[in-house]
C-alpha cells in the first residue's frame, strides 16, 4: 500500500510532469530579429502563392455567394482526421482577414504554426513544409495577398473536440513533427533542379501527402515522397520516386507536361484525391518552374 | 426431426440461395469489369487524340472514328453498371468513390458533360475544330475523376 510519504512524492512528480508538459507545449515563434531587411516583390509573391497552393484550402465558403471564387476569402470546409476546419480569410480585410497582421505575425503563422495570439496552429496547415521556405518568399506572398480586394469573411469555429487541449498537444508534437531547417541547394545539381527541389520541398508541400507518416504522425523522412495512405482516407497516394523507371511518365518533360495540362492532354493520373486542385495551381506557375519541378521529380529514384 | 422431404427442400433452398448469392456477386463483378473496359476504351481514344492535340501526329479522322466507335461499343450500358452491390468495399476492387452513390445527380451530370464533350470532339471534321473541342473533353474527364475516383497509389 502507498504510504503518505509516497503519495506526496507521487503528487509532486505528477505536478512536475504537468509543468514540464505545459512548458514544452508553449508555442515558439520567431522574433523581429529573425526577419531580414526585405523589399517585397509582389510578382514573386504571386508565383509562390500558387506554388504553395494557398487558395485550395482558403477558397471562399459556399455562403460567400457574391465573392469572386478565385479569392482566398476562407470558409470552405476542410475535413481532417481530427475534425472539420474552416481555413481563415487571407484577403486584407482589417476585421476578418490579414489586414492588421504584421510581417512577423505572418511569418510565424506560415513557418512556425503560431497564431498572432500565440496559439499553436493545427498542422493541417502545412507550416511543417513552409518552414523550409526562404523568409523573403513568405514576405512576398504576404505582399501579394495585400494587393487582393478585401473581403468581409468572418472566422468560423472549427468542429474539433477539445480545441484548447488539442492546440497544446500540437505544441508537444512540434518537438518531433516540425523541422525548421531551411531548404539548402545541392551544389552538384543544376540551377533548375534546385529550383524544382525548392518548390517541391518548400512551398509545394508535396511531402505532406506523398511522404508516409510514422507512429507520431510526423513525416517519415527515410521514405521521403515514397507514397502512402491518403490523409483523407481516399485510397493511396502514389510514390513520386521512380516515376520514369516505373513507366508512369516518359521523362522530365512528360512530368512537366502532366503538371501543366493535366487531363487537358489526357494525363488522367493526377485528378483524384485532391491532386486536380494541385495541378491547376501548378499550371499557373511560369513554364520554367514547372519544367524545374519535372526535372527534380524525374531524378528521384 | 426433419423428414427426408423437408431435408430435400431445405437443401434445395440452400442451393438456390447459394446460387443466387454467387450470381449476384458475379453480376457485380461483371458490372465493375464493364466499367473498367469502358474506361480503357476512353483511354484508347486519348492515346489517338492527344498526340494530335500536341502536334506530334497529323490529324487522322479515320483513326479517331475507329477509336470512338470502339469506345461507344465498350460503354453501351454504362448507366446499368452502378448497382448498389458494386460499391467500394465489395469482393471486386473498384476505384469508384462512395460519392457515385451519395451524389447521384452530380455523377450523372459529370457523365452528361463527358457525353456532350465527346460528341463534339467525335464530330470535328478538321484539325482546327478538333483542337478547339478537345479541352472541354479533358476537363470533363478531370471533373469526374476529381470527385468520383479514388487515387490508386
Q: What is d(CA A107, CA A139) in angstroms, rounded to the nearest whole number?
A: 7
Phi, psi of A56 (to 5 degrees): -55, -40
Q: What is the pLDDT of residue A25?
A: 83
Chain B residues lying within 8 Å of A268, measured CB to CB: 43, 46, 141, 145
pLDDT at B21: 42
Q: What is the pLDDT of residue B9?
A: 52
Separation between Cα atoms, residue A129 and residue B59, nearest integer Å: 45
Q: What's the angle, vertex CA A143, arms to CA A138 and CA A146, rounded to 5?
A: 130
Nearest chain B alpha carbon to A229: B153
What's the grid cell of residue A70? 478565385
In order along its 301 residues, chain A shows pLDDT tens digits of 668 888 888 888 899 888 888 888 888 899 999 999 999 999 999 999 999 999 999 999 999 999 999 999 999 999 888 889 999 999 999 999 999 999 999 999 999 999 999 999 999 999 999 999 999 999 999 999 999 999 999 999 989 888 888 898 999 999 999 999 999 999 999 999 999 999 999 999 999 999 999 998 999 999 999 998 887 777 789 999 999 999 999 999 999 999 999 999 989 888 888 899 999 999 999 999 999 999 999 999 9
* Domain covering B30-74+89-148 assigned CATH 1.20.120.10 in the classification: yes
* Residue ranges of domains in chain B: 30-74+89-148
Under the banding of pLDDT at 50, 70 and 90, the label for residue B20 is very low
Q: Cα separation of B94 and B149, whole Å?
A: 9
Greater confidence, A160 or B36? B36
Q: Phi-psi bin for B136: left (phi > 0), alpha (psi -120 to 50), beta?
A: alpha
Residue the block writes with cell 502536334 = B55
Q: Least CB-CB distance to B151: which of A230, A263, A277?
A: A230
Predicted pLDDT at A1:
61
**3-state SS string for A48-90:** HHHHCCHHHHHCECCCCCCCCCCCCCCECCEEECCEEECCCCC
pLDDT value at B16 more than 80 = no
pLDDT at residue B18 in the model: 41
Q: Do A263 and B139 make contact, defined as CB atoms within 8 angstroms?
A: yes
Contact between chains at B138 and A237 (C-beta distance less than 8 A): no
Instruction: Residue A273: list chain B partners with CB under 8 A.
Output: 150-151
H or E segment at A229? strand A228-229
| 8 Å CB contact of B145 and A236 | no
Q: Which residue of A has its CA nearest to B99?
A: A234
Residue A53 has a pLDDT of: 97
Where does the pLDDT of residue B2 fall: very low under 50, low under 70, confident under 90, or very high at 90 and above?
Answer: very low
Q: A269 to chain B: which residues are within 8 Å by CB? A: 152
State CA A11 to chain mean position distance.
40
- pLDDT per position as a tens digit, B71-113: 999 999 999 999 999 999 888 889 999 999 999 999 999 999 9
> Residue B133: closest CA among chain A residues belongs to which residue?
A264
Q: How far is B7 from chain A (nearest CA, A)?
A: 46
Render chain B in DSSP notation, one character per residue: ---HHHHHHHHHHHHHHHHHHHHHHHHHHHHHHHHHHHHHHHHHHHHHHHHHHHTSS---HHHHHHHHHHHHHHHTTGGGS--GGGSTTSSS---B-THHHH-HHHHHHHHHHHHHHHHHHHH--SHHHHHHHHHHHHHHHHHHHHHHB--B-
Model pLDDT, residue A269: 87
Contact A276 B145 (CB under 8 A): yes
Give the pLDDT band of residue B4 (cuts 50, 70, 90). low
Asked if pLDDT for residue B68 goes beyond 90, the answer is: yes
Phi, psi of A27 (to 5 degrees): -65, 135
Tell me which residue has cell 531524378.
A299
Q: Which residue has the cell 452491390?
A: B85
Residues 6+ apart with CB under 8 A from B147: B97, B99, B103, B106, B107, B110
Domains and CATH numbers, chain A: 36-177 (no CATH), 191-298 (1.10.760)
User: How does residue B3 score in pLDDT terms, banded at 50, 70 and 90?
Assistant: low
Amino acid at each position: 500500500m502507498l504510504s503518505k510519504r509516497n503519495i506526496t512524492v507521487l503528487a509532486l512528480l505528477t505536478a512536475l510532469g504537468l509543468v514540464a508538459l505545459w512548458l514544452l507545449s508553449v508555442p515558439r515563434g520567431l522574433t523581429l530579429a529573425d526577419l531580414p531587411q526585405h523589399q517585397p516583390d509582389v510578382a514573386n509573391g504571386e508565383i509562390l502563392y500558387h506554388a504553395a497552393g494557398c487558395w485550395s484550402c482558403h477558397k471562399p465558403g459556399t455562403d460567400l455567394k457574391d465573392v469572386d471564387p478565385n479569392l482566398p476569402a476562407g470558409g470552405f470546409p476542410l475535413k481532417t482526421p481530427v475534425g472539420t476546419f474552416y481555413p481563415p480569410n487571407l484577403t486584407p480585410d482589417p476585421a476578418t482577414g490579414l489586414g492588421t497582421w504584421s510581417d512577423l505575425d505572418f511569418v510565424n503563422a506560415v513557418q512556425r504554426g503560431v497564431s498572432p495570439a500565440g496559439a499553436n496552429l493545427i498542422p493541417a496547415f502545412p507550416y511543417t513544409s513552409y518552414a523550409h521556405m526562404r523568409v523573403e518568399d513568405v514576405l512576398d506572398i504576404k505582399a501579394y495577398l495585400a494587393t487582393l480586394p478585401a473581403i468581409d469573411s468572418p472566422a468560423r469555429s472549427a468542429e474539433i473536440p477539445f480545441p484548447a487541449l488539442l492546440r497544446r498537444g500540437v505544441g508537444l508534437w512540434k518537438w518531433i513533427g516540425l523541422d525548421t531547417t531551411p531548404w539548402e541547394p545541392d551544389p552538384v545539381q543544376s540551377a533548375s533542379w534546385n529550383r524544382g527541389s525548392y518548390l517541391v520541398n518548400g512551398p509545394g508541400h508535396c511531402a505532406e501527402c506523398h511522404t508516409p507518416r510514422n507512429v507520431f504522425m510526423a513525416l517519415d523522412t527515410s521514405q521521403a515522397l515514397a507514397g502512402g495512405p491518403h490523409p483523407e482516407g481516399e485510397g493511396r497516394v502514389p510514390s513520386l520516386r521512380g516515376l520514369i523507371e516505373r513507366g508512369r511518365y516518359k521523362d522530365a518533360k512528360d512530368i512537366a507536361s502532366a503538371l501543366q495540362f493535366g487531363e487537358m492532354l489526357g494525363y488522367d493520373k493526377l485528378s483524384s484525391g485532391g491532386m486536380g486542385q494541385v495541378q491547376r495551381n501548378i499550371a499557373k506557375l511560369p513554364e520554367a518552374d514547372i519544367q524545374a519541378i519535372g526535372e527534380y521529380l524525374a531524378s528521384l529514384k | 426431426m426433419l423428414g427426408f422431404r423437408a431435408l430435400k427442400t431445405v437443401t434445395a433452398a440452400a442451393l438456390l440461395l447459394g446460387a443466387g448469392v454467387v450470381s449476384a456477386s458475379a453480376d457485380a463483378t461483371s458490372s465493375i469489369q464493364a466499367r473498367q473496359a469502358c474506361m480503357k476504351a476512353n483511354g484508347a481514344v486519348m492515346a489517338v487524340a492527344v498526340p494530335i492535340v500536341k502536334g506530334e501526329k497529323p490529324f487522322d479522322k479515320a483513326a479517331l472514328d475507329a477509336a470512338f466507335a470502339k469506345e461507344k461499343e465498350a460503354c453501351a450500358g454504362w448507366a446499368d453498371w452502378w448497382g448498389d452491390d458494386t460499391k467500394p468495399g465489395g469482393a471486386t476492387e473498384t476505384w469508384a468513390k462512395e460519392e457515385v452513390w451519395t451524389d447521384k445527380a452530380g455523377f450523372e451530370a459529370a457523365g452528361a458533360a463527358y457525353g456532350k464533350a465527346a460528341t463534339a470532339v467525335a464530330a470535328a471534321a478538321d484539325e482546327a475544330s478538333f483542337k478547339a473541342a478537345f479541352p472541354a473533353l479533358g476537363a470533363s474527364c478531370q471533373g469526374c475523376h476529381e470527385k468520383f475516383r479514388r487515387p490508386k497509389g
